[in-house]
A = this chain, B = another copy of it.
Amino acid sequence: MTLWECPFPISDYPAVLMAHGGGGRLTHTLIEQLFLPAFANPALELQHDGAVLELELSGSRLAFATDAFTVSPLFFPGGTIGSLAVHGTVNDLAMCGAQPIALSASFILEEGLPMEDLWRIVQSMQQAARSVGVPIVTGDTKVVDRHKGDGVFITTAGIGHVADGIEISPRRARPGDRVLISGAIAVHGIAILSVREGLEFETTLESDSAPLHHLVARILEVAGAGVHVLRDPTRGGLSSALNEIASQAQVGIRLDESSIPMGEAVRGACELLGLDPLYVANEGKCLVIATPDAAETILATMQAHPQGAESAIIGEVTADHPGRVVMRSRVGGTRVVDMLSGEQLPRIC
């Protein structure tokens, strides 16, 4: 089935009504004709108040994460709010060193949302979940009045399994550790902004929204306890993520500007718009902080992975200036890279 062959009788209900959230007949029509066929899996089909999962785990550590998604516009090059909501929570689990087991999805719909838009979002969500290999096992739908929402907000939560021997925590960064990133920065934020602002590039700039759990699994396979911190630099970008880690671990971080991968289109757009790419969101990139002896192996592993071809070592953890991130610029100077203050790009995730 393509994205466009919608079996839901949208001619009956071309737009979302308040009653689709009322818990009665229309809510059930929506669940049975739209959500269940898309997300089809045994746990969801029971239509219970929650899902009951049979787990066969070695060890007993479970990761649990959630994210709300309010991105505007709902559709953008490289994804939709639905695929982003799947990737975002899968990545939060992956950053805990976990492999995802199951997702939940809660929808807050605005009265009047075209039913076809909802259908397309749900389809892209399911495509993302299928390609991740993780079922959406439980959910909820509410409807709010016109002008009390904005089309659709989606909150996903996820559970994942953390294997024995894995200890990932922002507090584990140690002086001497290397800082790696899995590819070019600032792509998601600029892709969203280019749609909003109607910017034209030579090629369409697509969001980097992607699931990172396979890449993380490979990294943990080759480097195990050598991996100290994982973090996906989403809202607030690379600089905010690294500032958080520096502050929590009470270490310094020194970046080398020339080693940070960045595409030409993104660089150009940032210059044009007066944006600092270090503060622009990523949705398919992973920071890895690891011991110096593990760093080269991790780098080679990341570069050999489809999601990490452009990976690079971009800096180092230091005992100097604890709590601060500094960057050696291309021209040789050093500047403090502070946490984002204020708001650069609202509603990019």
Contact = CB atoms under 8 A, between A and B. Distances in A.
Interface of A: 17-19, 21-28, 46-57, 60-70, 91-93, 95-98, 102, 104-108, 137-145, 147-150, 153, 155, 157-160, 162, 168-171, 231-232, 234-237, 240, 244, 248, 279, 281, 339-347, 349
A41 to B, nearest CB: 12
A26 B64 contact: no
B342 A19 contact: yes
A171 B46 contact: yes
B53 A65 contact: no
A159 B159 contact: yes
A200 to B, nearest CB: 26
A52 B62 contact: yes
Contacts of A347: 21, 142, 144-145
B157 A340 contact: no
Given A47-B248, A66-B138, A145-B346, A108 B153 contact: yes
A210 to B, nearest CB: 16
B24 A65 contact: no
Given A23-B281, A50-B160, A144-B153, 19 more contacts: A22-B236, A22-B340, A24-B240, A24-B279, A50-B66, A51-B63, A51-B65, A53-B63, A54-B60, A64-B104, A67-B106, A67-B140, A68-B107, A68-B142, A68-B155, A145-B150, A148-B150, A149-B149, A155-B157
